[in-house]
Amino acid sequence: MMSDKVIKTDSFMEMPHSTKNLYFYLMIEADDDGFVSNPKTIMRMVNAAEDDYKILVGKKFVVPFESGVCVIKHWLIHNLIRADRKVDTQWAEEKKLLIVDTDTQKYSLNKGLQPNDNQVSTKCPHRLGKVRLGKVSIKKETLPLGEFENVNLSDIELEKLTAANGKEAVTQIIEELSCYIETSGKEYKSHYLTASNWLRRKNKTNVSKEVHQVFTLFKNPASALWPNRGHEVVAAQVLLDTYGLETLERRVARVIKEAKNGDQFFPNAVTPSQLLDKMPAIERYLGK
């Protein structure tokens, strides 16, 4: 079963769909104590990315262990199994490393500290503790992403980047940024703005590559100068948007062929701007 107290929280609902989907499958595969022995296999089964798992860890929906297994943090909230039906987990050593908050029924790693009043070890039964009230510190939660886990983005920032650029592009830029930070030692005030700028520059580069393909069609020695001439770049982009690269390939090839044949009646064009200007005439000529 799954509890609305967990899966209908803002923290859960704001995660990418692929991350939520991975969580559901981890829930399905968990044993009676909430342990999942093969999270990486499940990730491959559902086509989830490494960052989906890192988000679940970063937002504390799962607790990972060095052995590779993980446990669903809120398992005791989702499921309450009768003692006579429960099958104890095979991951007994990992279970000894956990403590249970008796008020929230959440698993946490016991990192060598004594449990507080409302936390108990999983080794033996204890009485319920009391709730301690204090000041709440509110801060934007970030997730360590990338190969070196040094790119910090909030789930909202990650959602924005993905919505604007697609999951594949965002995953690639996070890995590139992670490697660059690791090797250069450079620090950024905002990884979100840095990733946004890198994606924006990459998108511009992609457009330039398409425009460059148009330039090369003309086999003109001066084409190397065209990227610096704004009107030629604009003309190439308009041609691409209007006719598509395949049609342009045929038309430019025909222009070059007729020029070699000395056909003085066929409209001549040696640059994208000239082709854009004479394209209607070329289409009429070829239509005859």
Q: State the pLDDT at residue 264.
A: 67
> Are 152 and 191 in contact, with CB atoms under 8 Å apart?
yes
Beta strands in the chain (DSSP E): 35-36, 62-64, 70-72, 98-101, 107-109, 119-121, 142-145, 151-154
> Are 226 and 272 in contact, with CB atoms under 8 Å apart?
yes
Q: State the pLDDT at residue 117.
A: 44
Q: Report in angstroms the alpha-carbon separations of 29 from 46, 90, 108.
A: 12, 14, 20
DSSP-derived secondary structure for 66-89:
TTS-EEETTHHHH----TTT----
Cα 154 from chain centre? 12
Q: How many residues does the chain have?
A: 288
Q: State the pLDDT at residue 23.
A: 93
> Are 10 and 4 in contact, with CB atoms under 8 Å apart?
no
Cα 16 from chain centre? 9
Residue 253 phi, psi dihedral angles, 5° rounding: -60, -40
Q: State the pLDDT at residue 69.
A: 92
**Mean pLDDT by groups of 10 residues along the chain of 288 residues:** 80 89 90 90 90 90 91 83 62 76 67 46 41 40 80 86 84 85 82 86 64 81 70 80 86 82 74 85 74
Name the pTM for this structure.
Answer: 0.38
Q: Report in angstroms the alpha-carbon separations of 270 from 186, 217, 218, 252.
A: 46, 10, 6, 9
